[in-house]
Amino acid sequence: MKRFIVIGGEYLFCNFGYRIGESDTLRGAKQIASKHKELWHDCKYHTPKIYFSKDCGAVDADGYITLTADPVSVYDEDAKTWEDFSPVFGEL
């Protein structure tokens, strides 16, 4: 299993999403996420979030992954920049 996992899905607030890709580096995960923007019900494109693989649980029968922690990095659609969260800087 790689270090970072890219998780998509419009309803991530329910603490589950689906796997889009994995990478050993945060930069690689950002590239994967940037290539897989999703069109949500608000008619806007959204970039999938990046999590540590260790924070992702089992995959259920429908292919959804349970998330046990906050994302490592999120793309700010308005500012057009990635936001890396400070609690994880030591692990990056």
Residue 80 lies in a domain: yes
Residue 34 in 3-state DSSP?
Answer: helix
Q: Is 71 exposed, middle or buried (0-12, 13-18, 19+ CB in 10 A)?
A: buried
Q: What is the pTM of this model?
A: 0.82
- Look at residue 87 in the predicted model and tell me its pLDDT: 58
What is the residue range of 44's domain?
A: 4-87
Angle of CA points 8, 14, 75, to nearest 5°: 40
Residue 14 lies in a domain: yes
pLDDT tens digits, residue range 33-58? 999 998 888 888 889 999 998 888 77
Residue 79 lies in a domain: yes
pLDDT confidence tier of residue 92, bands split at 50, 70 and 90: low
Rounded Cα distance between 88 and 10, Å, is 24
Domain count for the chain: 1
Residue 92 lies in a domain: no
- Look at residue 22 in the predicted model and tell me its pLDDT: 92
- Look at residue 57 in the predicted model and tell me its pLDDT: 79
pLDDT tens digits, residue range 4-27? 999 888 766 566 688 899 999 999
